[in-house]
Amino acid sequence: MPSGVPPEVAAIRTEIRRFLDTPDVSGRKIGNAKYGAYVFYDYDGEPIYVGQTVEMVRSRIGRHLTNQRTDAVAMNVLDPFEVAEIEVWPLYAEDVKGDIGKTLNGIEYTVFQKVLRASKLGAVLNEKDIPRTRLVKLPRSYRGRIIPPELYQLRKHPDTRIARRASTIANLARVISERNVSKGLRRTLLTQARRLERLAAERLAEFAEDYPVEKEGEETGEEVAE
């Protein structure tokens, strides 16, 4: 009986494992950290989702990106297809002092503020508010691409991403229309729409020279009544 996943899916999962096997300065695999914060980036390097985990970095990221469902994926907040890079701030159990919940909240909020400053839209897709805390010193981060070279240019094509983004928006809007949802989910819908508009505008601009705008007074081939 047939088994396994399509080759491109297998290739991406291999890249995810390779990234999570990255050694830190002490030789520990970053994906094996018990705790941590993480950010997903799209093909433009734009931050799109921020999270934290207490279940091991490898497990949490795997559930987001390899079809082991999470709320963000199930609710059409996050499309795994859009994730091109990951950045993680690993935190190991032996390095934690004090309340882990407060520690992680501080790291996640500080990361959140960091990526908002870097975002062209000043927004990410998180549907839930990230608890406000004081800013803290972050542990060292590790960032890497999870799409193999042979797939990267194909998936990066703007028309492909426009189609995916429009589909995600339609699915998210359907969820909102059928349920009593939070204000945060409606905010995510607006952010997705802004992301789509920006990408579509950038794509159209690439063809601007094909559609010259006639200046006032130029001949158009039509008679003008006096």
Full residue range of the structural domain in which residue 62 is found: 7-147
Element (H, E) at 203: helix 183-205
pTM of the model: 0.88
Q: How far apart are CA 125 and CA 103, in angstroms?
A: 23
Give the separation between CA 170 and CA 149, rounded to whole angstroms: 30
Per the domain annotation, does 208 fall within a domain? no
**The pLDDT value given to residue 67:** 60
Which CATH number is 133's domain given?
Answer: 3.40.1440.10
Length of the chain: 226
Domain assignment present for 12: yes
- Tokens found for residue 158: 């703007």
- How many structural domains is the chain composed of? 1
d(CA 22, CA 32): 10
- How does pLDDT run along the chain (226 residues), one tens digit per residue? 455 778 998 999 999 999 999 999 999 999 999 999 999 999 999 999 999 999 899 999 988 887 655 566 767 788 999 999 999 999 998 888 889 999 999 999 999 999 999 999 999 999 999 999 999 999 999 999 999 999 999 999 999 999 999 999 999 999 999 999 899 999 999 999 999 999 999 999 998 666 555 666 555 454 444 4
End-to-end CA distance of the chain: 79
pLDDT value, residue 217 = 56
Instruction: With H, G, I as helix, E, B as strand and everything else as coil, classify residue 24.
Output: coil
pLDDT of 214? 61
